[in-house]
Structure 1
Amino acid sequence: MDLDNIQEPASSPIRDMSDSSNFFFDLSPAKTISPRPARLQPRHRRHSISSATSHKSGGSARHVTRMSSCDEDITAVRRAAFIEGRKNRLAARAVEREEVLARARTGIEGASSKLAELQKSIAAANVAREKMLATVTSACGDQVAKAKAKAAEMREKRLEEVRMMKLALEERLANAAKRREEMRKTKRTSRPSVGSVEEKSPERKVLRREVSEVERRDAARVIQRTWRRSEKRRAAQAFFGLGVDVSAVHELPFEELVYRFQDQKVLKATIRALKATGLVGDEEPPMKQMEACRIFLSSYMILGHPEEILSGQGEREQELVRTTNILLRAFENSVRSPASSVDLLAAWPSYLVAFRSWKAHDSAILVEGMAAQYAELSQIWETVKDSEASVADEYKRSIRNNQLMLLQKIRKLAGEDTRKVVGKAIAEAKKRRKELKKAVEALPKPSPSRTRPESAGSARNSGSARQEFTVPATSIVANYGVNLSNRQLMHELLLDPNFKLEPPEKSPLEKAVETQVKRAFFDSVREGLRNGEEEDWIPGLAKDVRSRLLRLVVPDSPTAQMISGALDLTVIEQQCRTRTFDYQRFCEQVVHMMRRLCAPFRDEMVQGCLVPAAAEDRVEGFVECAKAILEVLDVLLLDHANFHLTIAAPMLLPEAVAYERKRFDEDVKAGRASLESTKKWLQAHAQEATQTAESRDPEGVQHPKSKPTLSPVFAAAMVDVVVPDSTGTLPDLPETFHLDVDRIVEYRQTAHKITVVATLILHSKNLARAGSPQQDWSQLKERLWVILKDGQTTAEHLTSEVQHYIGSASTSSSAADNLVSRVLDGSDTVFKLLRRRLRAYMEAWLTAGLARGDEPGSRSRPSQQLAAAASGMEELAGELKRLGEKVRKLGEVNRDCYGGLYDGILRDRPLSALNVSFLFKRPQFQSRRPCCQITIRSIPRVTLDSDSPW
């Protein structure tokens, strides 16, 4: 059905609105037909009275006719509306289709443009790639072309030399054959007379002229060859006339040989000889000629002094020595005889290749070593930069100068790669330091139990609990031959953060025994070497030296590999079996490696090891040199241990307290240590403090401020350890001081000397004549102090010194002897008084809090107490202060480590047994280090109240 050709009726009640999709129906004809809507007529008729009759009337027939006509009109209107709506929907669908097609075309065009841009970028990338490849290819091509051109030039040069030699030989043979043929054809005649010669001379002149014209080229070649030989001979005479040959360089010392090769005469003569032999061309620039000259002279140094030049006996070194031998043999044969230079021209390139390969490898090792030194200097600066300003400035200046010097040397060898090499060395040094830090972090960390109130608060604020780690079984410095455990090392660092390892002090008996043992050992070595028993002694000495050298370097580093290769025990044993072991070379090689590993200020000591090796007796010189090397190696090991200890100290200190406390706890748990002496020591002083407090409170008020606290109890107990009332024995010391036995013995001896000297000075003042001039008693103090430091001092020495100072007429000898005897045995009254004052002085140091800045002489109450306690010992004020600082430091460390243990000891015992009620207050002095605590497993945990000081 064609919807487009449908036409509406002219009288259609539908009105089309072209601007919208709505249709309007005109209902006016219906109104003219019926006064009311037709749909209402039946309804009204049903409800009317006369509906039945009116339904059957003729009016109803007319009504039906009108209704049917209206229905047809409505149907037509509906049909037209339906058709119009369908047309509109089809039109909308066509518009939508066009939009979809337009969007599709737009998307295809956008994708095409993107694809075109992508293809363009890919093409540009390909062009850039091709350009880069072309650049790389051209650069590599240039290098390859240069190498090929150089090789071709050398090849052509050698071929030309060979060709010229062949031509010369052929010419000589041809001339010889020609002369032989002429002589064979010429008839033998008698010698003509003088007159005939004069008559025939014009003809002979003409014959000579003709010969010179024919053989001019041959004559020129002969003259040139003769001149070259003469020039070569003169160059050889000038070169060897300076004393430069293989036999002479072996006899000259290394330093003198270096000085001689720097002489301009030697350099010029060498360049002339190289030109004469064809190794250097006249057309080459002077720099190239000088470089070739120095490389050639290096061959004599390598062959004459290989131990100073070569760092080992590897494949490169052996190849270099072999090519050097061939080169020098060919050179001497070439310049001393008119023979051909083919062997020399063939040996020179091989030597250059071997020399440059060895130099590159040796330069890499030197650069690596200097870069490592640069990194170590940086680490040293990181360690000392927080020191005092003057010290830090001095270190900074010195480190900066050394680093600049190292950078200059590295730049000469590495060139543009200097920054890269130094950066790599610093990164490796930081990596090793991190590994060391990880190893240190294996130390135990404190747990949150048994912490002080302030420590607990800080732990709550941080919100993180520390872990427990396993401690390394070996000592941190055990690798350097130091017999010091980790626990002792941590304890020494707590007492002195700048602690340095020192050689142990030995008694005269120990020194004598050690001297005898060393003498017997080296006497046996000397006797064995004289009897030809090298295989029994030398490998052992070499193994000991090598093991000590390897302790000074990083394992598996190039330096360690160099040491292992230079001191190969298998090679040394073979040399001993074949009787080819060189004593002098071994000593010089070891000293050379020691100089590379030691600090600059040790160079003179290391170089001194070679002095005995120059002795006429070869065996005696070797034994003395080996003895000196072993002694110096012990010193270098100690230096190296101190260096690593300085680096590790900042990481060890925060963990030292917890580590020492945990180790003591393990000893107690394992039964290796008990707490009997510690309990007796601490509880005795607590009982004494309680009795003193009760005696001061006769009315029994027991005011909290009058109750004793732990701080004075610990101070009194500490003083009793350092300055006992009577001569104490070491077994009576508490177990918590077992690491400080030697230190406490030293403190007791110092306290005893202070008391003795002060007592003798007071008695000397009383014995001096009243009218004598004012004397400087500090001089007497110094002399008495020096005498008491000597272990062989007797009472007679002190008596004579006192009498000499105050005058022999002031007192009798017997009275002075009696006085000194009473002072030394402790029965003198003044001695007892000063000893009590010394104890009071030490107790004031421990309780006054001088660590916060009070100094003797100020007006603070603690300083006044110190001044009162030191009355009568004014001449010994410096010794008193030094001893007080040491005792205070020992007390702080001991209290930091074992304060919780002391608290537990006093609380575990019933307070009624002690007849004391402690009010535990915060101590008057605090440690300046953070208090690190650990979980105590062997001692029952005690719940502390808020007033606990620990």
Structure 2
Amino acid sequence: MLLKSLQAGDVVFGKVSRAVYFAFRGVVLGGGANGKKLAEAPLRRLGAAKLADRVVKAGEMLINMAVISEKRRKRVCLRAREIRRHHRRLVDRRAREGEMAVAAMELPAVRAYDALGINETSVKSMPFENLATLMQSPATLQATKAVLDRFEKLLPLLSSPVINIDHLLKHLGSPKKKKTPPPAAAASASRYSLRVVLCSYMILAHPGAVLSGQGEKEKLLMDSAGSFVKEFELLVKTVLEKQSTDAAAGQKMFSAQLADFDRAWCAYLYCFVKLLQEKVHQLSGDAGIERMNSALSDTRSKFFEAKENGNPLAASVANVSTPLSIGSSGSSFTAQSLPGAASSSSSSSLMKQPTDNEQMLNEMLHEDDVSFGGNSDNVSSAEKEFQAKVKSTMEKAFWDLVTDSMKGDKPDYTQLINLVKEVRDSLHELASKELKEEILENIDLEILSQVLESGSQDTRYLGQIMHYSLDMIRKLSAPAKEDDMKRSHEKLLNELAASSEVNDNGISSFVIAVIKGLRFTLEEIKQLQSEVSKARIQLMQPIIKGSAGVEYLQKAFADRYGPPANASASLPITKQWVSATKSIVEQEWSSHLESLQALPADHAQRVVVPVLRAGHGAPMAQASSSAASGSGLPECKGEKIDKLTRVGLLQLISNVEGLNMQSTPETFQINLPRLRAVQDQFQKVIVIATSILVLHQVLVSKVAAPELQNAISELYDALVKLLDSNPDASTEEIVEAMASSLATVGSLSLPEKQAQATAELATKMLLKSLQAGDVVFGKVSRAVYCAFRGVVLGGGGVKGKKLAEAPLRRLAAAKLADRVVKAGEVLVKMAAISEKVHGQWYKALAFYQGPKTNRYKGSKGRE
């Protein structure tokens, strides 16, 4: 049995071997006392428990061998890694020092720049004209560009990484005049912009001539420009003096100075771009910044190309860049065109701007008054045409640029891939979580790049992307629009499929199909984004219009201007406005109460009322249904802050000078476009009422009442159409409108000579009455002011309408009551919202005892 059991294939041998294996495993994995117990268990089943000690001793030897082997392995690996790391450091340091030494010793570019003699001392002693001429000379531009390029090439050799400033460089928008730039030039923009570097010397030497103000950002830019010039000159000096110093010390000095120079450049560029954006924002708002960032470089490049090639597009772009001249003569009676607004805004210090979220919430709270928000409804037709022309020119230049990039023997598909990426990213942003991964899989930019780089110009894959994108747009859009969108999408795809092989200009069908399809898809996505934004806003409105919106605006205002306790110091314009309003608010309130008492109980019984300057009567105009319905805006009950806010707003819009950021209280600067629109309506009403009054006085004794009313209605319609379409209409155009109304009446009721004399008299009276110092102009302005006051203090209901009609009827201009009510309601809502948001600041300022000023006192006399 023993001999049989010791054979390898025997069952007993297998069981014993297995038990011994378990015993050894228990010791090796269990260790210590636990290992011995684990070893005894299988041995006990063999009746050999005494062998446990031998098994434990042998297992411990295995454990020690494993531990020693692992430690040795780790030690060897660690030493190998250290050797490799030290070797790499040694190689990199030697290579870097060698390259830096060779690069720094190549001095021709630096010497050529130093020979120009441009330094801090010399530029400060130069007159501005001489310095500007020097900065524009070809020698200066060439030498400076060479030395800047040389320094930029040395940056990768620094031991520390440089700061990424691509987000700042893209705002500079330097034009590229070459039609197809070489790959090396197109790879990236220069880190050191030549014109911005030279501009630092201009800022340092003549800050008053270069900068338009002395605000905080201007001061930061001046300081950063001075630091940059200092580091730049030290770097040039270090390179020139390196030969006379020890190699190692000189190398270390040069590396440190190059790093300091680059850090100073980053700080200066940041201040430069921030001030540039601030100026663009002041001139054209967020839309201007967006247009500058997205289209400036491409459009200017296209302009230079067209100019060099003699293309008419250059003239088109040049004309667009010049504002249209509207009204060649005569003065304007609208707030937008008054010179005070434009001149003061350009020289103002930088203001604290509300955030996008604040502006959005503010628009939601005022959404019933969007027509007075300074948007497209309040823009003249000439301005709309100008804006449309600018947009059309920019779009044409952009798509022409994309088309040109894909033409020729070596097409550049970079723009095309970027546009497809924009389509993919836009759909990805709009889609739900379930669809995001699907979009990324179906619009694969890597595959697209490979297809395009193959040079086959195969439209199949691009067609798949286009088809999928349009399907996804339909899926994300409202179900009600799906059928119409499907028809338009199918029509587009059929047109692209039927494109001819080559058009008249030699542009392949591939390029035509790609441009047309991408342009259509991007427009569809833009509309979808607008719809989604509107839907999200509608969902938010119930919350925003509650207390949450007011609380958010309160917190945002406090973050920008501090708590109400600091209002006297942080809100200087609001403080002056409150102080000036306090001095006249009680007088205005008393006049309003007198107007209420004078209002007849049965307003409809008054059929004829006296008209200014003459005792003749004017029949009462029929109240319109729109105003009769009322808006439900509450009247003022005499509460101190409510009364002060309403009267203060009335003083602002009744001012002769156009409102701007420097004359508007900080609490209403977010509503400046809305205030300007109401001020515009105020001045339009004065012009129309004055014209109607003059016409009434001239014709009242010469024609019958029905003909007089017809002439007044015709003049009213003509002036409304003229002033609404062209806010900058001149006095000549207004006189022409009156002459047209007089000609209609004269041809029917007056002899030719009398009609001519009447027209001449009316023209003289109108020109005289439209002058600010004229008695008639003053009385009309006062009557219009009282009409606005009736709505602002009396509310937007029937009572406010009656209070507005009473003074206007004395001008025979009761038809203007609806316009007054509509504009006055904007002020009522603005005052109510501002009281909720800024009430604590108003209370702090209302009880502040300080010097009073009448800066905001309007041009109208007070009763």
Q: Same fold (TM over 0.5)?
A: no
* Rg larger in structure: 1
Determine which structure has greater relative contact order: mean sequence separation of CA pairs < 8 Å that are 6+ residues apart, divided by chain length: 2
The interval holding the TM-score normalised by the smaller chain is 0.3 to 0.5
